[in-house]
Structure 1
Amino acid sequence: MASTFKTFLANDITTTKTLLHEAIPITGTIVSGTYKGPIDSNIKTFSHGMFESVYDYPYLSSSANHIFDITAGWYSGSLWQEVPLHAAIVQDSKKINIYNQFAQVLVPYDVSGNIQQFDQDGDTAAGGTKMDSCFFITFSRLLTKDEVKKGNFRFSMYVNSTGSTNGTVDPEGRLTPVTLGDYGAATSFKVNSPTGEYGLIFSQSADSSDPTKAFGHIYYQAGILVLTSSIFREDLVIGGYIDTPANSITGSREKAFQSGTIDQLANALRYAIDDIDFNNTTELNSTMYFCRANTNEYNYSANPTYLSDSKIVVKGDNAFAEPVSYITTVGLYSADNELLATAKVSEPLKKAVSNEVTLRVRLDY
């Protein structure tokens, strides 16, 4: 137990922040459910039918990791909902609830406390084009860590068809995939979301100067991707199994959003994904304490073995030798002298009147 304490001065303590990045590649075979095992064994659906979960391995396996959830919804009062283009609207209330759930978290309320729609260019106050029907991908914390790194999010997908045969993606009839991304967001991003910062998603870097060409938003701290359904340029194949009529609905994207279930819409987007790449960010905050032992400090030890017959052991029988101690541990104490943390040195450090020692103790959190 320490018997002598030294108070830190202002210049003995400093703080730093370090950003660590990790590359996260997600291939289309994982997302489509064709990577390992039986088809869709890594895709988990639920009885409520409001979203699907994607795993990197069959989800019943103990080694499976949750990657992201995928769902879809639309705004109450949108044109597609009010003017039916199909015989029946499926899961209308659930699609509205999904949209509202994400909007009330990611989009600021208006001055009257009403939920606002997702705005194409992110400027909700100025009005402009709204994204009435959207796909939502919520990435797991395991992948995004503290946030998605700005400016390097890439999302490659087929935008003209999502058909497949026997559970495998059918490349026939599909155009070259389009690589969406938050182009230019490293230096230009939005800050008017309650969840923090977000970037606009464009189909090419040349469009990043025109916010009206955005196809969605990527919310960096929340780890959520919002894509407008208008990203699909042609007919949308719902369900992913074009040879199984019970699981597939073909037609315009308007018809698909009306007559398809949320699970079917999620399947459509899953089978359209070619690749997802981004870097996550871990914010490492550090406090460094410089523990200084001056020439006349800590040259003596309170350890009982330091003395033998009232003589300092390390001095031997030389009464004129300098007292010497060896530093092995540094303790950090509270203002009322309660031990909070200890740090060990790699080897004992000799401390005598003839030298000074400065130890840097770093706490990461």
Structure 2
Amino acid sequence: MANIFETLNPGTDVTTTRTLLHEAIPLTGSIVSGTYTDKTTTGEENIKNYSHGMFQSVYDYPYLSSSANHIFDLTVGYSDNSDLSSSANVQNAKKINMYNELALVCLGTDVTGAIEQFENDLVIADDNNLMKEMFFVNFSRLLVKDSIKKGTFSLVIGTGSWSDPFGVPTSCQTITDSPSASATQGTAEGQTGDWAPLYVTTPAYQTGSVGAIFYNLGIAALTGAVFTSPPGQGNPINHEFLKNNGIHQGISGTFTNVPISAACDGFRHRIQNISFNNTTEINSAIYFCRAPATKFNYSSNPTYTIGSKIRVKEEATSMPRAYVTTVGLYNASNELLAVAKLSEPLRKDPNNELTLRVRLDY
């Protein structure tokens, strides 16, 4: 137990830092759709559907395995004032609920308390350029960590026919947040964190944004309008966005005629790649622990002396010395709060001073 203490000066001996660590996250379309198809049934072993039918979960391995990691959830929805909204639609109420739930989480409410709607610009309050039919990708915290790094999100999708979604060169679209998206430009600060529009960058025939990426939430929202054929390529997507129970459905039919799980299957079938950099925020308190020349030259360890002599002194006239191996941080009541170990003992005697840098991460 320590019996000599050195008081820390909060103004000169304590500081704080914030460090951002980034990790590249690549997700291939083969994992999302096709890698773990169960040949004995009609399902995919890494895709989990639920009895409530409101979203679908994607894993990197068969989800019943203890080795499986949750990657993201998928769902679809539309606004109650969408032209596609109808009580005759399959799961109409649930699709409206999913749109409203994600809009509330991502955008919050306006001054009247009404839920905001998704738009293809950075000005949510004006209710212009509304995106009323949406696909949603909610990435797991395992991948996102604290947030998605701005300017790094990329999603490659196929807009061709159901049998060959990536066949025509112009049907393979790369969707990204703006390369200029950063802490100071290209993004907006919402009620639940920063977000930015998503744009088709390859081929660049789309006008305006086609969705939004919510960095802190780890949610990507994509308008159904992105699944239209480029100019000069006909309009096959209107007839063959997905195939459910042997029947092809266009993008409109995907929102109205099939359940959410089937719409998610169709969307997964068109994902070629997803990539982004995640962000882990590490906050640190740094303490500069100083051992002045006149202190900490002796040890309270019982083995420090033998008889009446200091073990580490070769001659009686030699200066006392000790070897520092541990630093303890105490509160005002001298209660031990934290312990730091040195990688090797440091010699301490009246001829030198030590300043040890102790960092606490949280």
Q: Displacement, 1:74?
A: 0.8
Unaligned runs of 5+ in 2: 229-236
Q: How does 1:212-251 map to 2 (within 5 A)?
A: 213-233=208-228, 234-235=237-238, 237=240, 239-240=242-243, 244-245=245-246, 248-251=247-250
Give the direction of change, closer, same or farther, for the CA distance of 1:35–1:176 in structure 2 (3 Å limit). farther
Which residue is equivalent to 2:231?
Answer: none
Q: Displacement, 1:225?
A: 0.4
Q: Displacement, 1:122?
A: 2.9
Paired amino acid for 2:159: V
Give the direction of change, closer, same or farther, for the CA distance of 1:240–1:148 in structure 2 (3 Å limit). farther
Aligned residue for 2:84, secondary structure, equals: helix
Contact 2:242 2:249 in 1 (8 A): no
Which moved further from structure 2: 132-141 or 285-294?
A: 285-294
Aligned residue for 1:200, secondary structure, equals: strand
Which residue is equivalent to 1:98?
Answer: 98
Q: How does 1:51-200 map to 2 (within 5 A)?
A: 51-81=55-85, 88-161=88-161, 163-164=162-163, 171=166, 175-183=170-178, 184-186=180-182, 187-200=184-197
Q: Displacement, 1:206?
A: 10
**1:192-238 C-alpha deviation (Å, 9 max, x unpaired):** 4222001110002897xx9x701000000100000111111031645
TM-score when normalising by structure 2: 0.89
Which moved further from structure 2: 297-306 or 150-159?
A: 297-306
Paired amino acid for 1:350: R
Identity among equivalent pairs (%): 47
Contact 1:185 1:200 in 2 (8 A): no
Instruction: Please give the alpha-carbon distance, in whole angstroms, between the structure 2 residues aligned to 1:306 and 1:172.
Output: 78
Give the direction of change, closer, same or farther, for the CA distance of 1:91–1:305 in structure 2 (3 Å limit). same
Aligned to 1:266, which of 246, 264, 268? Answer: 264
Q: Displacement, 1:91?
A: 0.5
Paired amino acid for 1:301: S
Contact 1:42 1:56 in 2 (8 A): yes
Contact 2:170 2:203 in 1 (8 A): no
Which moved further from structure 2: 65-74 or 104-113?
A: 104-113
Contact 1:159 1:272 in 2 (8 A): yes
Instruction: Please give the alpha-carbon distance, in whole angstroms, between the structure 1 residues aligned to 2:18 and 2:141.
Output: 20
TM-score when normalising by structure 1: 0.89
Contact 1:238 1:260 in 2 (8 A): no
Aligned residue for 1:102, secondary structure, equals: helix
Contact 1:33 1:42 in 2 (8 A): no
Instruction: Please give the alpha-carbon distance, in whole angstroms, between the structure 2 residues aligned to 1:348 and 1:286.
Output: 25
Q: Displacement, 1:317?
A: 5.0
Higher helix share: 1
Instruction: Please give the alpha-carbon distance, in whole angstroms, between the structure 1 residues aligned to 2:136 and 2:172.
Output: 19
Contact 1:37 1:58 in 2 (8 A): no
Q: Displacement, 1:109?
A: 0.7
Paired amino acid for 1:42: N
CA RMSD, Structure 1 to Structure 2 (Å): 2.3
Instruction: Please give the alpha-carbon distance, in whole angstroms, between the structure 1 residues aligned to 2:47 and 2:149.
Output: 26
Aligned residue for 1:105, secondary structure, equals: helix
Aligned residue for 2:312, secondary structure, equals: helix
